[in-house]
Amino acid sequence: MVYSSPKTNVYIFILLENFAFVLIKYFKKFGH
């Protein structure tokens, strides 16, 4: 992975954000 590229950093950040959003959605679904 190339960490010096701003575009790559943004892409990784978006992936992590989407992954966290999905995790939160599942926790809310099965948490109750």
Say how far apart CA 13 and CA 6 lie, in whole Å: 10
Say how far apart CA 22 and CA 6 lie, in whole Å: 24
Q: pLDDT value at position 3?
A: 57
Q: Are 28 and 22 in contact (CB under 8 A)?
A: no
Q: What is the pLDDT of residues 1-32, one digit of tens each?
A: 555 688 888 999 999 999 999 999 999 998 76
Based on C-alpha coordinates, what's the Rg of the chain? Answer: 13
Q: pLDDT value at position 19?
A: 96
